[in-house]
Amino acid sequence: MARRIYIIAGEASGDLHGSNLIKALKDRAAQDGEELVIRAWGGERMAAAGAEVVKHYRDLAFMGFTQVILNLRTILRNMSWCKADIEAFKPDAVILIDYPGFNLRIAEHVRKLGGIKIIYYISPQVWAWKKGRVHAIKRDVDRMFVILPFEQQWYANYGMDVDFVGHPLLDAIQQEGTRPLEALPGADARPVVAMLPGSRRQEVAGMLPIMLKAAERFPDHRFVIAAAPSLPPEFYRSIIGSAPVALVFGRTYDVLRTAKAALVTSGTATLETALFGVPEVVCYNGGAINVWLARRLIKIEFISLVNLIMEREVVCELIQQELTPKNLAEELGRLLNDATYRSRVEQDLNSLRAKLGGPGASAKAASGMWKILTGRV
């Protein structure tokens, strides 16, 4: 009889990491001559990897405190449906990928059901805010697999033994490097600057206009927007208007492979950009209420994963009132035109890659999860 796994990923990055995990789990199961049936919340990548995706992450992506409050009824309805679906599916294990506000409540429910292994892959950023969640994790989760080097010690401080497997982005980027690079639409001789305005409608609507205004100062560069596949083209075009930029869907890594620099909304994309060795400016403008709340709740010095991992400023972060077209253009100009500054950033990005360790995170995580599922080494 096939083993049954239920996986929940609530964002585009979770879909990416979930897809690589699914491939690795299927490979590990095949080594023992076993089959897996995987039901999931995720996206196109997880579906392509072999999961039956029953809920798309685009229906789950609410950004910031205010959006969560405004969409609370939808969130609660999704949660109730998910709980019922897990009960009906009767999995051997539930694998939760980041997305803590939702997934930690699911973990509590599944623990009460009994008989189902609860595995967390990619820790919630409890070291940044809501540290009290660590007690719920300790109570409800059978095993945690973390991807940032400092997280293992952080959990040890709370008496938890977790597995550091390395960052799965290194796997995805290594795979990308083996694929021939296809030219982007409308390519010309000008250097490319990548624009990654986010994956959620709210953040794209807030970030992209500022990025477009800054781009006006660089007519000798070609700006390419790496669009989120979950958002429709007409949404982007309504913001772009007549601006001379290219819009590309489903080819973010192609855009980064060709880019000389990038403007990136805070999130996983900042780390992806850095691991491609592309100097970047990190942008964040979450709205006055969200930022006011965040500054009182979040206890970290930086917002980008790049700077958090390196524990110092490697890439410039422009936050809230600092994020203006003028400031963004000035920092981009430094990356493009100041050779000494650019070289320092590039050296730091090489150090970041070394600090995260080598590829193989997905396989390591799958191996550890398989032991939990089967009780076999």
SS (H, E, C) the chain: CCEEEEEEECCHHHHHHHHHHHHHHHHHHHHCCCCEEEEEEECHHHHHCCCEEEEEHHHCCCCHHHHHHHCHHHHHHHHHHHHHHHHHHCCCEEEEECCHHHHHHHHHHHHHHCCCEEEEECCCCCCCCCCCHHHHHHHHCCEEEECCCCHHHHHHCCCCCCEECCCCHHHHHHHHHCCCCCCCCCCCCCCEEEEECCCCHHHHHHHHHHHHHHHCCCCCCEEEEEECCCCCHHHHHHHHCCCCCEEEECCHHHHHHHEEEEEEECCHHHHHHHHCCCCEEEEECCCHHHHHHHHHHCCCCCCCHHHHHHCCCCCEEEEHHHCCHHHHHHHHHHHHHCHHHHHHHHHHHHHHHHHCCCCCHHHHHHHHHHHHHHCCC
Q: What is the mean pLDDT of residues 329-333?
A: 98
- Give residue 323's pLDDT: 95
User: From the CA atom positions of the chain, what is the Rg in Å?
Assistant: 21
188 lies in the same domain as 232 = yes
- Provide CB contacts within 8 A for 256, sequence distance 6+: 194, 226, 262, 272, 273, 276, 278
- 92 domain-assigned: yes
- Give residue 175's pLDDT: 81
The pLDDT-based confidence of 68 (bands split at 50, 70, 90) is low
- 153 domain-assigned: yes
Q: CB–CB of 125/154 below 8 Å?
A: no
147 lies in the same domain as 45 = yes
- 8 domain-assigned: yes
- The pair phi, psi for residue 331, each rounded to 5°, is -70, -40
- Give residue 293's pLDDT: 46
135 lies in the same domain as 195 = no
Q: What is the mean pLDDT of residues 50-63?
A: 83
157 lies in the same domain as 244 = no
Q: Which among 358, 25, 377, 110 has a CA at the least distance from the CA of 17?
A: 25
Q: What is the mean pLDDT of residues 76-105?
A: 95
186 lies in the same domain as 283 = yes
- Per-residue pLDDT tens over the stretch 244-300: 999 999 899 999 999 999 999 988 899 999 999 999 999 998 755 455 444 544 556
Gap between the Cα atoms of 249 and 240, Å rounded: 15
- Give residue 179's pLDDT: 83
The pLDDT-based confidence of 145 (bands split at 50, 70, 90) is very high
369 lies in the same domain as 282 = no
124 lies in the same domain as 137 = yes
Domain that holds residue 30: 3-168+360-374
- 223 domain-assigned: yes
pTM assigned to the model: 0.79
Separation of CA 284 from chain center: 15
Q: What is the mean pLDDT of residues 202-218?
A: 96
Residue, of 303 and 328, whose pLDDT is higher: 328
87 lies in the same domain as 192 = no
- Give residue 174's pLDDT: 86
327 lies in the same domain as 308 = yes
- Give residue 300's pLDDT: 61
138 lies in the same domain as 252 = no
- 198 domain-assigned: yes
- 174 domain-assigned: no
Q: Which among 247, 249, 248, 258 has a CA at the least distance from the CA of 181?
A: 258
- Supply the CATH number for residue 93's domain: 3.40.50.2000
145 lies in the same domain as 200 = no
Q: Which of 1-10, 161-170, 296-305 has the lowest mean pLDDT?
A: 296-305
Separation of CA 206 from chain center: 19
The pLDDT-based confidence of 172 (bands split at 50, 70, 90) is confident
- Give residue 297's pLDDT: 44
Gap between the Cα atoms of 139 and 98, Å rounded: 17
- Give residue 28's pLDDT: 96
Tally the domains of the chain.
Answer: 2
- Judged against a pLDDT cut of 80, whether residue 67 lies above it is answered with no
- 68 domain-assigned: yes
Per-chain mean pLDDT for the chain: 91
Share of the chain above pLDDT 90, in %: 72
- Give residue 72's pLDDT: 64
- Per-residue pLDDT tens over the stretch 342-371: 999 999 999 998 888 788 999 999 999 999
Q: What is the mean pLDDT of residues 41-53?
A: 97
344 lies in the same domain as 364 = no
- Judged against a pLDDT cut of 50, whether residue 141 lies above it is answered with yes
- Give residue 59's pLDDT: 78
Q: Which of 75-84, 179-188, 228-237, 326-335 has the lowest mean pLDDT?
A: 179-188
